[in-house]
Amino acid sequence: MRSRLFAGLLCLALFPVSLLAQPNASEDPILSTMSQEMNRSLGYLKKQPLAPYFLSYELTDNHAINVSSSFGAITGRSDRRTRLLDIDLRVGRYDMDNSHAVRGDFAMTTFGQLAGRLPLDDDPKALAAALWLETDRHYKEAVQRLAAVKTKNQIKKETEDDSPDFSSAPAEHHFEPIAQFSFDRASWEQRLRRYGVLFRDLPDVQSADIWASGELETRRYINNDGSEIRMSLPLYRLNLSASIKAPDGEVLPLYRQFMSFTPEGLPDDAQVLKVVGEMKSMLLALRQAPAADAYTGPAILSGRASAVFFHEIFGHRVEADRLKNDDDAQTFKKKINQPILPPFLSVYSDPTLHHLQNSDLVGYYPYDDEGVEARRVTVIDHGIFRSFLMSRSPINGFPSSNGHGRRQQGYDVAARQSNLIVESTKSVSRDKLKSLLIERVKAAHKPYGLLFDDITGGYTFTSRDLPNSFAVLPTVVYRIYPDGREELVRGLDLIGTPLIAFSKISAADNDVGIFNGICGGESGWVPVSAIAPGLLIDQIEVQRKPKSQAQDPILPAPGAAQKKEN
């Protein structure tokens, strides 16, 4: 599993989709054609010796406009529309069908980009023809795969989890209007030029890339249980990335990302220019900062950092589909109703939350990609582990979905995170958390503690074939000395194993941080949010980052040379 999270709890707001909803989907000719073709196909396929017991269509329209730049020069622009069809066709029975996993048979696992491309025109006949061909292809593949599953199931050892392959879910009806979408590419090109040129006078700068995008995604979903759903949501993004090279060769990156459901939610010129100035100052400071050494001892994770920390080392281990694989480490599978975290911490996943404080939460959705209504799931209640995130693929003890079946177009659905929220019933101020850190430093006779203030992402391993470990990739780290002095350092990655890391959490502050990002997994890349307070961890471990061995440029950068000549 690898994730990249880019980038603060009092005001909660639900997105008022229900106020915009229309009574039924009959006004949508595309949904009508999908329904007609599904009924026609099922009528014929029921006459086959092996008839489908479940069939769903998910048709995704995507309109994406992008512009990118480097050092203030436009390097790319695009305006792209796609229409992709994902089909879930199942033959067999709920307890075992063509999706059944066979241990050790990687070849039978499907990964991505299998969605059919459909015509962009809303021509009912052209759409029906495409649906017909894709349904026929999926049916033939499903029959062949079920035969292979039955054969291999006879010679393979039984799996630890004997739960069914699929679960039933109620029929749902939800119809949203097509969302408004506006992205002025010409205006954004001018803005990117203004922002990017400011990095040109930065000595030893390696990169200064900025890109902006607007995307409208409209999903239509139907299944033979009677569900009809249409959802439409835009997403706007602004990304700033710059890096500088330290004297010893280490490349030091910084990232800032802004994500919103409206154009007005992105920062204006004054805000972005302020961010650029802060990035330049921090890059120069990092270049002069000392390289830190490997260390174990107490540390603080800022709210932003602890949000990524929980997403990586906790969130991916509660995505239930992975637990059906006997090769997965299944860290929490036998931990139901057992303490995992200190009793002042609770964790829940809530895809129905559209907004927190002053930030949109991009893990929001009203229905998942299997037509199941989104809902809040309490995963940890006052330190006690309670539940997993579920798709319609059950595991032992959890027979049904809780609305977390998600995918990128072209990938099979899997249980995935949405808005992962960590709450504390016992919080202190940021200054008090620092005082507690210093107390731990003195008690452990350590020369300093660490503060992880900013982070770019991380990755975690959940397979039994590899150490069940994680790495979180910080960009801004400070040493905190016993006298309270803070010193910026560079070159560290936060590493460890999950159960030990969780057992060392001792306090939380009231400075909540939000990270929005795009997370990669078995079912592709999906938008997620993570929200958490700052945390004091009594013992962490860090290791040195890898550094570039490439020779520095022989020629000075153009801006630097001109400045020297003048």
What mean pLDDT do residues 108-117 have?
Answer: 54
Same domain for 169 and 73, yes or no, is yes
This prediction has a pTM of 0.89
Pair (340, 274) in one structural domain: no
Domain end, chosen from 288, 310, 325, is at 288
Q: Are 384 and 354 in contact (CB under 8 A)?
A: no
Average pLDDT value for residue range 549-562: 63
| Predicted pLDDT at 563 | 53
For residues 224 and 278, state if they share a domain: yes
- Give the residue-averaged pLDDT of 16-32: 63
Region class of 67: left (phi > 0), else alpha (psi between -120 and 50), else beta: beta
Residue 297, pLDDT > 70, answer yes
Do 306 and 268 belong together in one domain?
A: no
Indicate if 189 and 230 belong to the same structural domain: yes
Looking at 288, 319, 338, the residue that finishes a domain is 288
In this structure, are 274 and 299 located in the same domain?
no
The answer on pLDDT for 463 being more than 90 is no
- Number of neighbours of residue 553 by Cβ within 10 angstroms: 10
Q: What pLDDT is stored for residue 115 in this prediction?
A: 64
Amino acid at the residue 55:
L
Q: How confident is the model at residue 155 (pLDDT cuts 50, 70, 90)?
A: low
65 with 109, same domain? Answer: yes
Contacts of 563 (CB under 8 A, 6+ apart): 201
Span 329-351, pLDDT tens digits = 678 888 999 999 999 999 999 99
Give all strands (DSSP E) within 278-436, no chain letters.
295-301, 345-349, 353-356, 359-360, 377-381, 384-385, 405-406, 414-415, 419-424, 427-428
Ramachandran bin of 254, using left for φ above 0, alpha for ψ from -120 to 50, beta for the remaining angles: beta
Q: Using only C-alpha atoms, what is the Rg of the chain?
A: 25
Mean pLDDT value across residues 189-216: 95
Domain assignment of residue 440, yes or no: yes
Q: Does 510 reside within a domain?
A: yes
Q: Which of 97-111, 320-334, 382-396 has the lowest mean pLDDT?
A: 97-111
Among 341, 194, 372, 356, residue whose Cα is nearest residue 260: 356
Question: What is the structure's pLDDT at 9?
Answer: 32
Do 124 and 177 have their domain in common? yes
Of the three residues 260, 288, 316, the one that is the final residue of a domain is 288
Is residue 153, in this structure, part of any structural domain at all?
yes
- Residue 239, beta-bridge partner list: 211, 257
Residues 220 and 309 in one domain: no
pLDDT digits (tens, 9 = 90+) for 368-413: 999 999 999 999 999 999 999 999 999 999 999 999 999 999 999 9
Which structural domain range is residue 380 located in? Answer: 295-544
Report whether pLDDT(143) > 60: yes
pLDDT-based confidence at 15, cuts 50/70/90?
Answer: very low
Mean per-residue pLDDT over the chain, rounded: 88
CATH number of the domain enclosing 97:
3.30.2290.10
Whether residue 565 lies inside any domain: the answer is no
Residue 551, in any domain of the structure: no
Q: Could you tell me if 337 and 206 lie in one domain?
A: no
CB atoms within 10 A of CB 9: 18
Same domain, 270 and 304: no
Residue 7 domain flag: no
Q: How many domains does the chain have?
A: 2
Higher model confidence: residue 218 or residue 459? 218
Could you tell me if residue 449 is inside a domain? yes
- Identify whether 21 is part of a domain: no
Claim to verify: residue 243 and residue 352 sit in the same structural domain: no
- At residue 479, the pLDDT reads 97
